Amino acid sequence: MEFVNLKAQYRALKVQIDERIQRVLDHGQYIMGPEVAELEEKLAVFTGAKHCITVASGTEALLISLMAIGLKPGDEVITTPFTFAATAEMIVLLGGKPVFVDIEPDTCNIDASLIEAKITDRTRAIMPVSLYGQCADMDAINVIAKRHGLAVVEDAAQSFGATYKGKKSCNLSTLGCTSFFPSKPLGCYGDGGAIFTNDDALAQACREIRVHGQSVRYTHVRVGVGGRMDTLQCAVVLAKLERFEWEIKQRRRLSERYRELLNALVGVQLLALRKDRDSAWAQYTVFVERRTSIQAVLQAQHIPTAVHYPKPLHQQPAYAAVSRDCGLVASEQAAERVLGLPMSADLSYSQQDRVVAALRVALA
Ligand SMILES: *Cc1c(COP(=O)(O)O)cnc(C)c1O
């Protein structure tokens, strides 16, 4: 059993993927080929956002977004410590300061009610992370941002395909950033990512920053990066898009099934799913005690698990010094207890039953 079954996905889509890759090899436009614009158009339609700018990775999407809003050294960005390092990393890389706000203990997403108390004269933006595929309370966050004139950058690396009050993740704030890392809900076969926005000026800025700040070739109107997504990777995502709606439905079906099966187990606490949103189920994460021993029991039966994340960022050496935060108790407790179970559209019911049976044994 695999944590994310990419081989079965390839088998199901082999004809489309091979054909798409071959087409790129035949036309030879490896950088900014026609598949780049085609993918950007399709993803914009999918999310409902006016603009989509594909970039080299999810990390690059965050970096370019923060550059586009003009983040300066000393600026503060409010975010969650319970996330992948890239979220805070790009803030620090630009000389900014991540200001960590604790999470809701039941969803593991940033607690919107704690944000306003952390706003200062130096605050420039709020960066919620749609962790495990479920969006944070974006309406509440947008209201606070509007009141204080702040940008909202959604780290939607794990939530492409999720909805919040009927609207798609990536189209819920000033800028939305996603990742096409192979194991994300919509993945390519290497690195890739995308930025979404409804703001024409920000879209233009992101497009320029992506290609070394060029407005037209060899006219560098600003400082940028080499942040393009390869044509080949765009071709892979285009092929995978054909089945993506089905995959999201399948992930939802599997998560509901996990919920039913695990509800009966003592010693497993399920993540809360808010009524006004649908997760993309990038991960199926539960809370357990004695995590290490449970993982060992599952591993012995060849059932892979994962911990996202074992330490909140304010406790990581690289960020402890820049953050100086305390009182992030919910994040610290979640880091001790979260356990990710195998999840992908191609996980079979019998595999899922095996996972649950092994957990039952491990908890006994
Ligand atoms: C995966 C991930 C990223 C980084 O995306 P890459 O494409 O790997 O650069 C950023 N933030 C979160 C929350 C992620 O899960």
Regarding whether 41 and 101 lie in a shared domain, the answer is yes
Regarding whether 277 and 188 lie in a shared domain, the answer is no
pLDDT, residue 69, reads: 98
Task: Label residues 287-308 b or e (16+ Cβ within 10 Å = b).
Answer: bbeebeebbebbeeeebebbbb
To test the pocket of ligand 1, the residue of 92, 158, 178, 279 to mutate (highest count of ligand atoms within 8 Å of its CB) is: 158
Distance 266 CA to ligand 1 centre (A): 33
Regarding whether 348 and 258 lie in a shared domain, the answer is yes
Enter the pTM of the model. 0.97
Regarding whether 236 and 252 lie in a shared domain, the answer is no
Active site residue 168: no
Q: Residue whose CA is closest, atom 7 of ligand 1?
A: 58
pLDDT, residue 332, reads: 96
User: Of 222, 241, 260, which one is at a domain's C-terminal end?
Assistant: 241
Regarding whether 232 and 146 lie in a shared domain, the answer is yes
List the CATH number of the domain containing 276: 3.90.1150.10
Regarding whether 74 and 169 lie in a shared domain, the answer is yes
79 within 8 A of 127, measured Cβ to Cβ: yes
Distance 59 CA to ligand 1 centre (A): 6
Query: Would you state the structure tokens that stand for residue 311, as one six-digit string?
Result: 């330490």
In a domain, 111, yes or no: yes
Dihedral sign (CA 282, 287, 292, 297): negative
312 within 8 A of 335, measured Cβ to Cβ: yes
Q: For 319, how many CA atoms within 13 A lie in the half-sphere containing its CB?
A: 28
Measured from the CA of 60, which atom of ligand 1 is nearest? 9
Regarding whether 186 and 49 lie in a shared domain, the answer is yes
In a domain, 327, yes or no: yes
pLDDT, residue 325, reads: 65
Query: Which domain covers residue 337, as residue numbers?
Result: 244-363
Burial (CB < 10 A; 0-12, 13-18, 19+), residue 220, is: middle
* Cβ-proximal residues to 131 (8 Å cutoff; 6+ apart), any chain: 80, 82, 83, 107, 108, 109, 158
Q: What is the mean pLDDT of each run of 10 residues along the chain (364 residues)?
A: 94 97 98 98 98 98 98 97 97 96 98 97 98 98 98 98 98 98 97 98 98 95 97 98 97 97 94 97 96 96 97 93 81 98 97 96 92
Distance 114 CA to ligand 1 centre (A): 24
In a domain, 343, yes or no: yes
Do strands 151-155 and 123-127 pair parallel, antiparallel, or not at all (unpaired)? parallel
In a domain, 190, yes or no: yes
Of 25, 64, 35, which Cα lies nearest the Cα of 235?
35
* Cβ-proximal residues to 146 (8 Å cutoff; 6+ apart), any chain: none
Measured from the CA of 193, which atom of ligand 1 is nearest? 7
Task: Tell me which of 184, 240, 249, 311 is the catalytic residue.
Answer: 184
What spatial distance separates the first Cα and last Cα of the chain, rounded to whole Å?
A: 23
Distance 86 CA to ligand 1 centre (A): 6
Measured from the CA of 158, which atom of ligand 1 is nearest? 15
Residues 214, 229: Cα–Cα separation, whole Å: 16
* Cβ-proximal residues to 236 (8 Å cutoff; 6+ apart), any chain: 17, 20, 21, 188, 189
User: Of 214, 241, 268, which one is at a domain's C-terminal end?
Assistant: 241
Q: Residue whose CA is closest, atom 5 of ligand 1?
A: 58
Regarding whether 13 and 37 lie in a shared domain, the answer is yes
Instruction: Give the pocket of ligand 1 (CB within 6 Å).
Output: 57-59, 83-84, 86-87, 129, 155, 157-158, 179, 181, 191, 193
Give the chain's domain count: 2
Regarding whether 252 and 140 lie in a shared domain, the answer is no
3-class DSSP string for 122-176: CEEEEECECHHHCCCCHHHHHHHHHHHCCEEEEECCCCCCCEECCEECCCCCCEE
In a domain, 1, yes or no: no
Regarding whether 257 and 228 lie in a shared domain, the answer is no
In a domain, 25, yes or no: yes
pLDDT, residue 322, reads: 77
Query: Would you state the structure tokens that stand for residue 86, as one six-digit string?
Result: 């890239």
C-alpha Rg value of the chain to the nearest Å: 20
Regarding whether 292 and 274 lie in a shared domain, the answer is yes
In a domain, 149, yes or no: yes
List the CATH number of the domain containing 119: 3.40.640.10
Distance 354 CA to ligand 1 centre (A): 29
User: Of 184, 219, 241, which one is at a domain's C-terminal end?
Assistant: 241
Q: Residue whose CA is closest, atom 6 of ligand 1?
A: 58
* Cβ-proximal residues to 4 (8 Å cutoff; 6+ apart), any chain: 182, 183, 342, 343, 344
CA angle 66, 317, 284 (to 5 degrees): 70
Burial (CB < 10 A; 0-12, 13-18, 19+), residue 83, is: buried
Regarding whether 36 and 49 lie in a shared domain, the answer is yes
pLDDT, residue 326, reads: 73
pLDDT, residue 316, reads: 94
Distance 192 CA to ligand 1 centre (A): 10
Measured from the CA of 59, which atom of ligand 1 is nearest? 9
